[in-house]
Structure 1
Amino acid sequence: MIRTQKYIIYFLIVTSYFLLVSGCKDKVKPGTAEVKRQVVTGVTLAEVHPSQVDEYYETSGTVKAKTISIVASRVMGTVTSVKVKEGDRVHAGQVLMTIDDRDIVQRVKAAEKAVEAAKQNKSLSDITYQRYKNLYDEKAISQQEIDQIETQKKVSDMEYERAMAMLAEAQVNHGFTRITAPISGIITEKKIELGSMAIPGIPILTVEDNSYFRIEANVDERLSGKLKRGMPVDVIIDSIGKQVKGRISEIVPAIDPMSRTFLIKVDLKMPSLKTGIYGKVLIPEGKKESILIPQKAIVEKGQLVGVYVVDNKGITTYRLIKTGKKYGEQIEILSGLSSGEKIIVGGVEKAVDGGIIK
């Protein structure tokens, strides 16, 4: 038994020796290994350098039509017709809907009758006054009698004017039964339907003038003394991917004590916008030195943002960077790159981390 165990131990020692010797044959000396790198071709390189760029204060706001008219009825009554729907384009003075006018029509007729009666009474008073005036000139009647007739004439004149005013009021009220567009634009909201009761002062339609828009944004109080009306600013509308020029048209002088900001309104000449769109306002504050690279050089890998940097040996390395503001087709680099380094700006889809450019 003991002899068998010796043979087994001897066999294991010999086997371990041969494995050790065979493993050592494949080792190489330090510093002599060659790394095989993938060759990268068809790319464009550029050397990065700092440059002077505009420094902006950035805030956000909401785009609104410059003129938004809330339409409400001036009289109470049942809606008898609705001639528009949301999205329709209308012109100023166009009839949008009508309200039951039967009671007001009767008031107009009554006022017209009152005017006719007052006119007849005025005519009679004029004739009577002229007759008594002739008698007074002939010394046939007393001063008191002519004064009485003259007063009756004045009263009839005032009654006629009062009747005319009541007729005009009735006609104006009748006109209120035809609700018209106060401005030219687009119907953006309709809050009433055929047969519903229109109540004075309750909004029923919204009309927006979509020829001009503006964006309203809150600005930090430190800029309260620096902004002026007419000052140019840049506005970025991310939803449509456009950057437009605007001018500050209004500055609200009151500062909100909670947010420490004040409101500005920037006019935009861009009819393709819509009320409610989110936008960014860039207010120029001066110049600064910064590194800019083309946005097409940026490579995103999941949540990582980086660029391919090329060293003196042509080896590419994917390096993480932190980006800042956009300047047209270029983007600011806050960290990750230094002046004089080379990056791949064209054909980035062909680049690989650890590759070599030949």
Structure 2
Amino acid sequence: MTNKILRVLDLSSLRTALLWIPVAVLVAGCSKPEPAPEPIRAVKVVTVQAEPLHSRLEFAGDVRARVTSALGFRVAGKLIKRQAEVGQRVKVGQVLAELDPSDYRLAAAAAQAQVAAALTNRDLASADFKRYKELREQNFISGAELERRESTLKAAQAQLEQAQAQLASQGNQAGYTRLMADVSGVVTAVQAEVGQVVGAGTPVVIIAQDGPRDVVFTVPEDRVAAVKVGEPVGIKVWANDDLLDGKVREVAASADPVTRTFQVKVELAAKDELPLGATVTVLPPSMSREGLTAIKLPTSALRRDGGGSAVWVLDTGSMTLRSQAVQVETADGNDVVIASGLTPGMVVVVAGVHVLAPGQKVQIYQGKTTPGQAAKAATAANTVATPAPAPVAPAAPAASAGK
């Protein structure tokens, strides 16, 4: 009896277990697997140290004539001929352009006619005065009448002189229809074409006068105080890399209204005749950084953090990262110069900075290098990270089959 009861209980337990098996399978299928631990990221680092600066400020400039003349007609008119062309060398007295002189010739002819009329009136007044003077000597007329004739003669003489002056002026006006070079030099610009009506004084031809040459360049407002009149500067010619000596001759007193930069003129030596418009590089020694030392980092080490720049500093004890704000002063080649925020000896991440987080645990990247390169890299980085495993010694040559 007892065995029968036990046999029934075993069947009942087996049936219950079989019923719970699908439930357990469903529960096991719905549960989330535990996430795999995040791998420790490898980072490239450098040790902060003061290094010498190698860059110097360079400014692009061009060669210009010290004196440039903008020549224009002294009268208005229609341009009918232009002999000057850009790049042409001209001499004093050479005709550059001509206006239509028809109106001025007519005006000169009218002035000539006025001179003739004034001359006739003067001669008539002179003859009257001579006749009335003889009558006065014979007491046939009063002294007042003689004085009136004398006044008429003086007025006629004045009108003649006025007409003659007018004729001379109109003659000059006709001569002003020819624009002639009053200096020797090179035509650098032409600002009027044939058929154009130009006003008096409107520039038609720009001439760079022969003589001394200047190198002209511009500097920003924060650097203009470092440029002094009389300061020697180096000038490197772009075409052949020749290095010439120059001297600052003039610094603009006010900034350009458009670029907000200050123009600087450098005097070239008389022996250094560079072509007009030649491109040069100006090297002011007062703006050179050579010989100075500062903390430098690759540009890849910087990231934006709020309103400024920051870097990741590695705590070599816990191998975790922390953010450090820095202030960038300027650039030195492909590196940036750090003004504040870092001290020598800090270990800074220089690659992949945008995928890191504060407190993240990292390891130092060990590149595939030869034993000699690995030793040099470890010495240059000067980090205190876990040293790389010692290089495996080359295996001994296998024994020959005969031994």
Category of TM-score, reference length = shorter chain? 0.5 to 0.7
How far residue 260 of structure 1 moved from its aligned partner, in angstroms, is 7.4
Bigger RCO (CA 8 Å, 6+ sep) = 1
Contact 1:59–1:280 under 8 Å retained in 2: yes
Q: Distance in 1 between matches of 2:284 and 2:120?
A: 71
2: CA distance between counterparts of 1:97 and 1:256? 33
CA distance in 2 between counterparts of 1:147 and 1:125 reads 12
Moved more, 141-150 or 278-287: 278-287
The alignment covers a number of residue pairs equal to 241
In structure 2, the CA distance between the partners of 1:235 and 1:151, relative to structure 1 (3 Å rule), is farther
The residue aligned with 2:380 is none
Separation in 1, partners of 2:94, 2:129: 49
Q: What CA deviation, in whole Å up to 9, does each residue of 1:122-165 have, x standing for no partner?
A: 23333433444455566554343233223222221221121122
Deviation of 1:88 (Å): 1.9
Report the CA distance shift for 1:254/1:100 in structure 2 as closer, same or farther (over 3 A).
closer
What is the CA distance between 1:102 and its match in structure 2?
2.2
Matched with 1:318 is: none
CA pair 279-288 structure 1, distance change in 2 beyond 3 A: closer
Match of 1:274 among 276, 279, 282: 276
Any stretches of 5+ residues in structure 1 without a counterpart?
1-49, 292-321, 325-352
Report the 3-state secondary structure (helix = DSSP H, G, I; strand = E; otherwise coil) of the residue aligned with 1:244.
strand
Q: How does 1:246-257 map to 2 (within 5 A)?
A: 246-254=246-254
C-alpha distance in structure 2 between counterparts of 1:197 and 1:233, whole Å? 45
Q: Cα 1:138–1:274, aligned 2, differ >3 Å: closer, same or farther?
A: same
* Paired position in structure 1 for 2:173: 173
CA contact (8 A) 1:221 1:260 kept: no
What residue is the counterpart of 2:3 in the other structure? none
User: How far apart, in 1, do the equivalents of 2:140 and 2:250 lie?
Assistant: 75
Q: Taking structure 1 as reference, are residues 251 and 287 closer, same or farther at Cα in structure 2, changes over 3 Å only?
A: closer
Listed as ranges, the matches of 1:183-332 within 5 Å are 183-194=183-194, 196-200=195-199, 201-219=201-219, 220=221, 224=225, 227-228=228-229, 230-254=230-254, 262-268=262-268, 269=270, 270-275=272-277, 277-285=278-286, 290=291
- Preserved CA contact (<8 Å) 2:188 2:207: yes
- 1:346 alignment partner in structure 2: none
Given residue 197 of structure 1, which amino acid in structure 2 is its aligned partner? Q
Look up the equivalent residue of 2:248 and give its one-letter code.
I
Does the 8 Å CA contact 1:70/1:203 hold for their aligned counterparts?
A: yes
Give the SS at the match of 1:246. strand
- Going from structure 1 to structure 2, the CA distance change for 1:281 and 1:144 (only over 3 Å counts) comes to farther
Write the distance in 1 (CA, Å) between the matches of 2:131 and 2:248. Answer: 72
Offset, 1:114: 1.6
Q: Report the TM-score, using the length of structure 2 for normalisation.
A: 0.49
Segments of 5+ residues of structure 2 without an aligned counterpart are 1-51, 293-331, 335-371, 374-403
User: Could you tell me which residue of structure 2 aligns to residue 38 of structure 1?
Assistant: none
**What's the offset of the Cα at 1:199?**
1.6
* Partner residue in 1 for 2:87: 87
1:57-206 counterparts in 2 under 5 A? 58-133=58-133, 135-136=135-136, 140-194=140-194, 196-200=195-199, 201-206=201-206
With the length of structure 1 as denominator, give the TM-score of the two structures.
0.54
Q: In structure 2, what residue type is equivalent to 1:198? A: V
Shift of 1:58: 4.8
Deviation string 1:302-349 (CA, Å, 9 cap, x unpaired) is xxxxxxxxxxxxxxxxxxxx879xxxxxxxxxxxxxxxxxxxxxxxxx
Aligned-CA RMSD value = 3.9
Instruction: Give 1 or 2 for the bigger CA radius of gyration.
Output: 2
Percent identical among aligned pairs is 28
- How much does 1:175 deviate? 1.1
Deviation for aligned residue 1:248? 3.2
